Structure 1
């Protein structure tokens, strides 16, 4: 166990913060990162590793998904699910910050982090679909298409971001999500694409009609973002080809 206190570790992280990534939306930057910073300081004091933080994040998310699957939608159930998802997301931020406290991360840790991210993005919407089918009057309605579309949108967006950065890295170009390029205005405009906002709307799970309206709105906004981003990413990659010619 490290001798450094939680408050000292927190201050060390706070003083070493870099600019946020250009594509980082507001909740992730101004709320989730700060919760994650506190959790990282606690984890550092307790002697946990970044991989431990990633596994804790996955456990919180998995617990939320199990509740969605097995428990009839209710106000209290939605609050519990939202809290678990929010904590899972905060621990996801904590693993990288904990790695910085310990002097740097590892390739295997980065792989595990991205693997868990891909799992949660693919599964959360499919779990919503199954929960709506099992537990609600919406089982034979067009609402069931929404989580299918949302799952495709978020998985493709995640893959597109990783692929874009991978291809840029092959030619020595800075990542699309490099630190230091973000602004407050940009972060606020991107809030609808924030996974943290998706976590929060599950507080409406006990009021399914309201939840589905909000959930569908997020799906449409994320779909619009993907279309615009895909055009931008393709043009960037094409420009790299032209510069190499």
Structure 2
């Protein structure tokens, strides 16, 4: 146990920068991930195995959303699986750093799982709304459909802007404004972990759709602001080229 505790302590001293990290990922998920990464390290597991375990847990929760009638018990089970999957998603990168660094395969696998996960989760919500007649208003089916589109665009935008910044070096630096706790809290609605916690209300359709819809609206506002910022950044990059 002391060895496991020491490894967790070692990981806590080797975290990625906190700037721009939403509150749940920063204060909760990274800590969960440290424990999982340390346990996986002592069990002789690889980062890719942890990534696959993350994807499996998330997929299990997503399948339950799409196939089981909403209830309080289902809400607890789905939330537990999604939170576990997200914790393991943090653990794979920490385990890779603990073992001396990641690999192109590991980075590709991690991003592919994330890309599949965000599309399937909102698609499963759409299927659940349709299959179990949670609402009389069919227009509410547009909420998860909009979430699928928004999440896909945001995910692609984040990956693309990161790649362009890396390619052009200091000409297009990320916007780093320190590790303000207030900023982490303000951008918390964009955190996948917050979305996972919203599924605690999945047994009550009215409450769930209110929280889910509010998250969608806040994420849309964030996406619009991010696109405007990215546009200015890329225009400045082009002017310097």
TM-score normalised over the length of structure 2: 0.95
Q: How far did residue 34 of structure 1 move?
A: 0.3
Q: Does the 8 Å CA contact 1:23/1:176 hold for their aligned counterparts?
A: no
Q: How far did residue 30 of structure 1 move?
A: 0.5
Spell out, residue by residue over 1:172-191, the C-alpha distance to the aligned partner (whole angstroms, 9 max, x if none): 1366377x843211100001
Q: Which residue of 2 aligns with 1:186?
A: 183
Q: Does the 8 Å CA contact 1:54/1:91 hold for their aligned counterparts?
A: yes
Asked if 1:8 is matched to 2:6, the reply is yes
Q: Which residue of 2 aligns with 1:47?
A: 44
TM-score normalised over the length of structure 1: 0.93
Asked if 1:147 is matched to 2:144, the reply is yes
Q: How far did residue 6 of structure 1 move?
A: 1.4
Q: Which residue of 2 aligns with 1:81?
A: 78
Spell out, residue by residue over 1:161-206, the C-alpha distance to the aligned partner (whole angstroms, 9 max, x if none): 111111122211366377x843211100001111000000101011
Q: Which residue of 1 aligns with 2:168?
A: 171
Spell out, residue by residue over 1:87-146, the C-alpha distance to the aligned partner (whole angstroms, 9 max, x if none): 100000000000011010001100000000111111110110001111133275211000
Return closer, same or farther for 1:242/1:63 CA change in 2, 3 Å cut-off.
same
Residue among 215, 219, 224 paired with 1:222 = 219
- The alignment's C-alpha RMSD in Å is 1.8
Q: Does the 8 Å CA contact 1:86/1:199 hold for their aligned counterparts?
A: yes
Q: Specify every segment of 5 or more residues in structure 2 that has no aligned partner in the other structure, as ranges.
A: none
Counterpart-to-counterpart distance in 2, 1:29 and 1:76: 28
Return closer, same or farther for 1:82/1:71 CA change in 2, 3 Å cut-off.
same
Counterpart-to-counterpart distance in 2, 1:195 and 1:220: 15
Q: Which residue of 2 aligns with 1:38?
A: 35
Q: Which residue of 2 aligns with 1:160?
A: 157
Q: Which residue of 2 aligns with 1:211?
A: 208
Question: Structure 1 segments of 4 or more deviating over 2 A?
Answer: 15-19, 136-140, 173-178
Q: Does the 8 Å CA contact 1:32/1:93 hold for their aligned counterparts?
A: yes
Q: How far did residue 227 of structure 1 move?
A: 0.3
Counterpart-to-counterpart distance in 1, 2:173 and 2:192: 20
* Partner SS, residue 104 of structure 1: coil
Counterpart-to-counterpart distance in 2, 1:206 and 1:79: 9
Asked if 1:24 is matched to 2:21, the reply is yes
Counterpart-to-counterpart distance in 1, 2:173 and 2:65: 36
Q: How far did residue 18 of structure 1 move?
A: 4.1
Q: Does the 8 Å CA contact 1:36/1:94 hold for their aligned counterparts?
A: yes
